[in-house]
Structure 1
Amino acid sequence: MKFAICQEMFVDWEWEKQCDLIAEIGYTGIELAPFAFADHPSKITQEERASLKKTAEDRGLQIFGLHWLLAKTEGLHLTTADSEVRKNTAAYLVELGNLCADLGGDLMVFGSPFQRNIEEGMSREQAYQNAAEVFRNCLPAIGERGVRICMEPLTTKETDFVNTCAEAIELIDMVGADNFVLHQDVKAMAGAETESIPELIHKYASRTGHFHVNDTNLLGPGMGETDYHPIFKALKETKYPGWISVEVFDYKPGSEHIARESFRYMKEVWESV
């Protein structure tokens, strides 16, 4: 299995130091948050992109994708009634697709809860139509670079738009693009779904493009109450081919401790199921 980690947890670490530690622990993939490198993808030059990629590859690591796509941006929104904002959002996603491809990646996770919340007075149907328009306008160009967008369901504590795997699939089917797929996140599934996580893994196996691991306590796998044995067993049974990527939200135990403990636990569980 391909174990990866989301790098924004290494706050204020130099890129070389991040890659050194991630590789030393045993991960082989890195998932980037664009805001950790610049406030706009256009500010990351081609030379810098090549350097980031080479630094990772020299340590046996692959930058395989991006997430937190619209975090810390202004004037961008997925479901807004403002057509100009929707147009700009699609264009921004194309820029991120180019960044992703230049770094060697092939997927982008669309989470960004604040930039997708439904505006007051807007119907659910209209919100889905607006979001579908944005994705239809950016996915062809992104696809030309070999990049997919993975739609991430989030809990109602985070957003009121796309809370379950079924709702994500509804939007994906509305768009009808081959490079628009489902993203599954353990914390989100535990907090929003009525079916168990293993059931959801089996049910949507053919539609899932990426998988985040974490716990309901916002820490990494093995650092909370979530038992990963049935989760990893389901991923094995469905022959999930993608990355298993650690994404945490509480950094208090320390980035290095979280990274090491998450990897140790995942490796132990994966080998036991």
Structure 2
Amino acid sequence: MCNELFDDRSLVDGFRAIASAGYEAVELAPFTLGRPVEDVRAAERAKIRRTAASLGLDFTGLHWLLAKTEGMHIAAIDPEARQRTLDRLKALTDLCTDLGGHVLVFGSPQQRSTPAGMTAPDGRARSIDLFRSWAVHAEQTGTTICLEALPADETDFMNTTDEVIEIVRAVDSSAVQLVLDVKSMSAEDSPIPDQIARAAPWLAYVQANDADRGGPGFGKTDFVPIFRALADVGYDGDVSVEAFEVATDVDDLARRSFEYLSRCAIDLA
């Protein structure tokens, strides 16, 4: 489960709540560390990993990579801003490795939307170039960059599964794959099982939420056919709960989302 919903608590209390709800791993939002990743030293990283492990939790990786940052953009024209962005993404890749994670989910709508005064093709080309540079570091650390489709009301770049596939193919690195997010897939015209089938060759991670941005099971999205489609393409990776709207309280959301997904898995079996 993603941990930012517990950001009003200490890091360990958030981990404890996630473990108590039944989850096996954390997907970490770096801003919940409370300071830039470069300031989180090796000893503290090791302590965070040990603390999670003591609760029975691993780390799948990181997401919200550039959230709550200033002066960073993957299509930046300014060389210093570009280098600052690339350096941060490399630093996050190192953090992911130190925590024992394996995926870096790249959503960050504000830091990927076409900058004012730039054409969409130019922004796309600049972004691909930065992804290629980042991928070299990801390859060296054994981590996987997962590019994420986001709806048009959030950004104008990589809005659909097919558009993300195009970028993944253009970058052409084994370290750059894609994540499928149920909320984002629900915003497309194409049925979710069809999107899963098309994305299968590059699929490295799945984020579970309802079409209405709540937790799985809190809306009308049926996960049984989603799980069936994932099974049909041979997906055996992680499924991480990421919710944006909390209907009751976060502990209830965490528990009920886990229980719902577990029932769907049983129904599928």
Superposed pair shares fold, TM > 0.5: yes
1:48 aligned to 2:25?
Answer: no
Aligned to 2:214: 219
Moved more, 137-146 or 50-59: 137-146
- Please report how far the alpha carbon of residue 24 of structure 1 lies from its aligned counterpart in structure 2 after TM superposition: 2.5
Counterpart contact for 2:21–2:251, Cα < 8 Å? no
1:240 aligned to 2:235?
Answer: yes
Give the match's secondary structure for 1:209.
strand
Moved over 4 A (4+): none
Counterpart contact for 1:50–1:103, Cα < 8 Å? yes
5 Å matches for 1:1-273?
Answer: 5-191=1-187, 193-273=188-268
- The C-alpha deviation readout for 1:129-187, integer Å capped at 9, x for no partner, is 10011111221122211111100000001000110111111111221111000111011
More relative contact order, 1 or 2 (CA 8 Å, 6+ apart): 1
Query: Structure 2: how far apart are the matches of 1:138 and 1:204?
Result: 22
The code of the aligned residue for 2:129 comes to E
Q: Which runs of 5+ in 1 are unaligned?
A: none
The code of the aligned residue for 1:64 comes to T
Moved more, 172-181 or 76-85: 76-85
- Please report how far the alpha carbon of residue 87 of structure 1 lies from its aligned counterpart in structure 2 after TM superposition: 2.1
Query: Structure 1: how far apart are the matches of 2:104 and 2:195?
Result: 21
Query: Structure 2: how far apart are the matches of 1:174 and 1:233?
Result: 29
Counterpart contact for 2:183–2:209, Cα < 8 Å? yes
Q: Which runs of 5+ in 2 are unaligned?
A: none
Query: TM-score normalised to the size of structure 2?
Result: 0.96
Give the match's secondary structure for 1:108.
strand
Counterpart contact for 1:32–1:67, Cα < 8 Å? yes
Between the two proteins, the alignment pairs up a number of residues equal to 268
Query: TM-score normalised to the size of structure 1?
Result: 0.94
Counterpart contact for 1:39–1:72, Cα < 8 Å? no
The code of the aligned residue for 2:264 comes to V
Moved more, 47-56 or 132-141: 132-141
Counterpart contact for 1:78–1:130, Cα < 8 Å? yes
